[in-house]
Amino acid sequence: MSAVAAWLALAWAIIAPPPAPQDPGERAFQRCIACHALTAGEDLAGPPLGGVIGHRAASRPGFAYSEALTAAGRAGLTWDAATLERFIADPEAVVPGTSMPYVGGPASERRAVVAWLARQG
């Protein structure tokens, strides 16, 4: 490979957009990545969501949860698929006073995101 071809390949790898996710849930999760990562360690506005299914709300160490979500977790709110889908549809209805600003999206996308998150650990 010539030096020019190698440089062009490298430049394309840097500037080309990543391939679009093929899984419908992963595609729908792209709306969430502005605030949520999958793994701990990224300092974003929302907590990491990998492995959230089956965990009590506001129970992951290292994130400053809202008072409302912390209280809901202490009261026993656990993220199962149905609860998480309802929360995504209308956070305020599930946890009054929550600081999550996103509301809604099509039901099919909500279900796909929750199913995808369930497979993430």
* pLDDT tens, position by position, 59-99: 988 899 999 999 999 999 999 999 999 999 999 999 999 99
Distance CA 28, CA 23 (A): 9
> pLDDT, tens digit, for every residue of 9-43?
555 556 656 666 688 999 999 989 999 999 888 87
Owner of token pair 């129970």: 59
Q: pTM value?
A: 0.80
CATH code assigned to 22-118: 1.10.760.10
* Rounded average pLDDT over 97-115: 90
pLDDT of residue 3: 64
CA dihedral 66, 99, 96, 121 (to 10 degrees): -70
